Amino acid sequence: MPRNKYINILLPLAILTEAFSLLFLHKQHITGNTPNAVILFISSMAAGVLVIMKFYNNGTIQVADTSGKKNRYAVLLTSIAAIAWMAIDANSVFERIVIDIYWSDIIPAVQIVTKRFVEGAYPYAPMTELGYTTPVGYMPFHWLPYSIAEVLKFDYRWISFSAFVLAFMVLIVRTYKRNVTATIITIFLTTASYYLMSRYSTGIMAVTVELLIAAYYMLLVSGINSNKYMTIGATVAICLLSRYSFALWLPLGIFVLYTNGDRKLLLKAIITSIVIILLCYIIPFLSKDWTVFYKTNTGYAGMNWEWQHLCDNGVPCNLFNGVGFAHLYYNHYGQANYKAAFETCRLVFFFASIGVCIAMGIWYCINKKKIDYRIFLMASLKIYLSIFFACMIVPYDYLMITGLLVSIALYAEQARYRVV
């Protein structure tokens, strides 16, 4: 179908544009703050919108089958070669850039929490070791996997990288039997994004743990595209227990599954999530201090100190980094009235994030017979994350890697289907 052919070309181009605007263009001073933020937002939104356009009112869909293709083994060898190259390159990055609080306190903070856990201490006691007192704001799956690195005494960043590779392998294995061409494109998009990150946005992989979170969200896309309640429930729980950026979208996801009619699947998935959250967070950690969750969220909602953290050019460093629209409020209100700018930005952030979910829910109610619910779940998650990240109170650039890798996961998962 002509429409699908055009979209199959535009979708990878949109993802590449998202990668370049996030990891390269602004970093190399090619684009300014606002133009780059606009390019990033539009390309990010386009990934979700194009997937809906591809399958909307276009007939029934079914999982394709290319198991007879001879070159599928060559595809697997190519993916292995890509992983090997990324691992060798990652090793050189980790050797070149040591973990140092001078660059970032993210990994040092994760190390403190993880060491407490391994040594049998309470991980969520207030943190004072970094020279200031703060509540521990990390959910369990933000730091718990690093226990392996702490016990075996190797670089924590290999855990993040390994999770990223695992999620990448899941996409490849799920896609190569269904669409060989899309598998090759998925390998290219992933490898190109990694290259841009390791060369021009090295801090994302060297001084943060965000690749771990991004990997969770890649698995979430695969999870909600399955019909297995354990997979759906587990991936939802892991994301909620890491960085719960998608929490405002979750009611929409539940609503779609409920209205689709497979309520037994939904109930089992919810029970699975609840059990994991109880066993991995509430019982072992939260039950010892019920104020931890509140303190964490209150601290984030009041992050106006980032709006006072000025760079050498006299503007807040993490607002004027080309990846979000928070700087527009700062420019409008001025430095002297940054509190009003912050409060307005926060208000828009919550209303935009909730509003887009309500709007998509209404759209689905009207059009649910014209689009498969699995396609809508994946695409709506991507659209929501595009709004969420663009409107963030403090648009840290490293957080956006999740949005980019979700785009790649969305591309791979939608490619498993063909219209009949």
Q: What is the pLDDT of residues 67-118, one digit of tens each?
A: 555 676 788 899 999 999 999 999 999 999 999 888 888 999 999 999 999 9
Query: What value does the mean pLDDT of the chain take?
Result: 92
152-197: per-residue pLDDT in tens? 999 999 999 999 999 999 999 999 888 999 999 999 999 999 999 9
Domain ranges of the chain: 2-415
Distances in whole angstroms, Cα of residue 21 to Cα of each of 39, 68, 160, 216, 418: 7, 38, 23, 23, 31
Distance CA(45)–CA(158), nearest Å, equals: 31
Amino acid type, 221:
V
Distances in whole angstroms, Cα of residue 260 to Cα of each of 14, 101, 189, 235: 30, 49, 32, 20
Work out the end-to-end distance of the chain between its first and last CA atoms, rounded to an integer number of angstroms.
Answer: 11
Compute φ and ψ for 384, nearest 5 degrees: -60, -45
Cβ 344 vs Cβ 329: under 8 Å = yes
Residues 6 or more apart whose Cβ sits within 8 Å of residue 245: 385, 388, 389, 399, 402
Cα-Cα-Cα-Cα dihedral sign, residues 219, 222, 224, 228: negative
279-312: per-residue pLDDT in tens? 999 999 999 988 877 766 665 555 677 888 888 8
pLDDT for res 296: 66
pLDDT for res 294: 73
